Chain A
């Protein structure tokens, strides 16, 4: 009993056994999540993985096929969107074109029959936070994309709710504005301290904003953990390949006697984070955890340079290792001509080993 009341007060959103089908197509398969008060959760996944669908289920815009949704400890599974205590921000802004900015912000509050001075107060506060006071009387058509998105966020803000839902709010903006608003959303979250569920397919957004990331694939949560954990210890091959750009390098081999062996080479696994069993395995190593061999560690893993991309602060070298593509990220800006032979070393402490059958991390 104690436990239940305890968790009810600090759990903001709880999704239990959520399933959703469109006709015969099962889009969500048993989604479970417990989100604490004030957490910033990012739903990350490829196109069609079911991110928007989960968000629409939380908002009550879609009827679930099975499962339950609790918001602030209250079962809202059958509640109307307006009764769930949520605010939502959409990718296309979805501002009412015929209303002024003020009208857009006031619309939901008028529907809730709030007193006029209360409406004015809330609009004033939201406009102050989002710095949209100057165009409260304009129509959405007379705003830039960034301003529109601010208004859309404002519409969620004035509702004065504990849970905010964002469906790819920045994906219609150009790169610079996206970066600016990303920081603003982060700051907003710190100011307000409410729970946010944020859908994106942009991993930079996910890594920078999230307290925890839920990585989705085909309607199944692959991993629900902090950005660091997802980056360092991906639970399976899919997660490992999804996070990071360029993505993780994979090398097939086998584990025996505390070593990973491939093509006659052996890498010591003493410093590996985990206790892998012997047998066939896939070694996953990120481009940034690969370095030039200074001669001290492993018996030289040699690779041939194919292409180098200079990006200013760092450069990415694409190599060929035993006939396979292999990427390496380095702060070194030396130019390596095509065909150069390089000797590599791997930071095994930050590598991952996977079972090729189950694709799970060892």
Chain B
């Protein structure tokens, strides 16, 4: 027994920085990051150049003489079909479409999900099944029937109509999202709240909501990006004066008259993408914090 040598490995196992595995992981990450960042870089650079400089054709070089004129033009002067007051009109249209659509769809879907997960009412299974079928029907099929429906409701061409469309089309997937999340909250919590004299709404607002911040953030990300980036519904269900930003962007970029102003196009595109980008940055942090705060253990 006594002659066992006690000198072998001891303590934490040493790790090599440059192992094959690490090279593989970081290599892939860098390549993927470049793949996304290079176009963005080119866009930003181009948007800061004047047209003569762009014509030189060196897309990777930084601007010799940086100008914000293309940005100003994209925002306030570019022609979007009917009028020439830039993207700003589309921006505010998009805001007026996105904010109510996001709020309404998340509110309704979360209540749906809560009712489906926690109150096993008669027909709940059937209702859920119907909703899920809705999620799998390609929405192109429903575009025309929806036009008729909106026309009958007198909402065709209005912002309200478009908000309604976005709310309805977001419903299946959001309801599924919320139902599955609420189903993971402990059932006994729900029972305890009932014994404590809380009803349907009380439990929703005072027990479920405070525990579900992460899933609400996920839903907001999903809906804001989805609705902000929507093009098809915006074209189909509204009039030109209500066109969302994406549609106006398309009109700017695809004008066939005059010279192609690449710098303005780039600036307009970045402007349009800014809102989802902002949502990712802001809610990404909130999201992580939400998960930490909502950690219900034991």
Q: Give A residues with C-beta under 8 Å from B.
A: 56, 59-61, 80-82, 86-88, 90-98, 107-108, 111-112, 141, 145, 148, 155, 172
What 7 A-B pairs come out closest when comparing CB atoms? A108-B196, A82-B197, A94-B188, A111-B197, A94-B192, A90-B188, A98-B210
Select the stretch in B60-68, B247-255, B290-298 that faces chain A: B290-298
16 intermolecular pairs with C-beta atoms under 8 Å apart: A59-B191, A61-B191, A80-B194, A81-B191, A81-B197, A82-B194, A88-B195, A94-B186, A96-B189, A96-B193, A97-B294, A98-B210, A111-B196, A111-B197, A112-B197, A148-B298
B194 close to A81 (CB less than 8 A): yes
**Scoring B residues 35 to 72 as 1 if CB is less than 8 Å from chain A, else 0, what string do you get?**
00000000000000000000000000000000000000
Among A60, A98, A155, A172, the residue within 8 A (CB) of B192 is A155
A-B residue pair count with CB separations less than 8 angstroms: 65
| Cβ contact within 8 Å between B298 and A86 | no
Inter-chain contact B194/A92, CB cutoff 8 Å: no
Task: Establish whether residues B197 and A108, one from each chain, have CB atoms under 8 Å apart when the complex forms.
Answer: yes
Which chain B residue lies CB-closest to A161? B195
**Binary interface profile of B, 249-271, with partner A (CB < 8 Å = 1, else 0)?**
00000000000000000000000
Most A CB contacts (10 A, CB to CB) among B195, B210, B211, B297 go to B195
Q: B198 interface residue, CB < 8 Å from A?
A: yes
- Given known pairs A90-B191, A96-B207, the reply for A107 and B196 (CB within 8 Å) is yes
Contact (Cβ within 8 A) A111 B202: yes
Q: B residues within 8 A CB of A93?
A: 188, 298
Structural contact, A97 and B202, CB atoms closer than 8 A: no
Name the B residues within 8 Å of A81 (CB-CB).
191, 194-195, 197
**Cβ of A82 and Cβ of B196 under 8 Å apart?**
yes
Kindly report which residue of chain A lies nearest to residue B202, judged by CB atoms. Answer: A111
* Residue of B191, B202, B297 with most chain A CB atoms under a 10 A cut-off: B191
Question: Of A59, A97, A148, A172, which is within 8 A of B195 by CB?
Answer: A59
> CA separation between A88 and B207, bound complex, in Å?
17
* Residues of A contacting B196 in the complex (Cβ-Cβ under 8 angstroms): 82, 107-108, 111, 155
Give every chain B residue within 8 A of A95 (Cβ-Cβ). 192
From A80, A88, A108, A111, B191 is in contact (CB under 8 Å) with: A88
CB distance from A351 to the nearest CB of B (A): 42
- Closest chain A residue to B194 by CB distance? A81
A56 partner residues in chain B, CB cutoff 8 A: 191
CB distance from B211 to the nearest CB of A (A): 7
Shortest beta-carbon distance from A114 to chain B in Å: 11
Chain B interface size, under 10 / 10 to 19 / 20 to 34 / 35 or more: 20 to 34
Contact partners of B202 in chain A: CB under 8 A: 111
Instruction: Give the complex CA separation of A95 and B294 in angstroms.
Output: 13
Q: A186 vs B202: C-alpha distance in the bound complex, in angstroms?
A: 34
Q: List, in ascending order, chain B residues with CB within 8 A of A148's CB.
A: 298
Is the pair A111, B186 in contact by a Cβ cutoff of 8 Å? no
| A141 CB contacts on chain B under 8 angstroms | 295-297
CB distance from B144 to the nearest CB of A (A): 41
CA distance A91 to B294 in the complex (A): 21
Interface string of B139-168 (1 = CB under 8 A from A): 000000000000000000000000000000
Task: Identify 15 new A-B residue pairs, CB closer than 8 A, beyond the known A93-B188, A107-B198.
Answer: A59-B191, A61-B191, A61-B195, A81-B195, A81-B197, A82-B196, A87-B195, A88-B192, A90-B188, A96-B192, A96-B193, A97-B211, A107-B193, A111-B197, A141-B297
> Which one of B188, B194, B196, B296 has the greatest number of beta carbons of chain A within 10 Å?
B196
Q: How far is the CB of A242 from chain B (nearest CB, A)?
A: 26
Q: In the assembled complex, how far is the CB of residue B72 from the closest CB belonging to chain A, in whole angstroms?
A: 47
Whole-angstrom distance between the alpha carbons of A133 and B298 in the complex? 22
Q: Which residues of A contact B186 (CB under 8 A)?
A: 92, 94
Q: Bound state CA distance, A255 and B297, in angstroms?
A: 58
Tell me the bound Cα distance from A95 to B297 in angstroms.
Answer: 11
* Chain B residues, CB < 8 A from A96: 189, 192-193, 207
A94 with B298: CB separation less than 8 A: no
- Taken together as a complex, chains A and B put the C-alpha atoms of A90 and B192 apart, in Å, by 8
Among the listed A80, A82, A87, A92, which residue makes an inter-chain contact with B188, where contact means beta carbons less than 8 Å apart?
A92
Q: How far is the CA of A316 from the CA of B193 in the complex (A)?
A: 47
A96 to B297, CA, bound (A): 11
Residues of chain A with a CB closer than 8 A to B211's CB: 97-98
Q: With the chains together, A96 CA to B207 CA distance in Å? A: 7
Within 8 A of A (CB), among B73-97: none
Q: CB-CB contacts of B107-151 with A at 8 A, as 1s and 0s? A: 000000000000000000000000000000000000000000000
Instruction: Tell me how far the C-beta of A196 lies from the nearest C-beta in chain B, rounded to whole angstroms.
Output: 15
Q: Which residues of B contact A91 (CB under 8 A)?
A: 188
When chains A and B are docked, how far (Å) is the Cα of A148 from the Cα of B296? 13
- Chain B residues within an 8 Å CB radius of A145: 298
The smallest C-beta distance from A105 to any residue of chain B, in angstroms, reads 10
Contacts of B191 in A (CB 8 A): 56, 59, 61, 81, 88, 90, 94
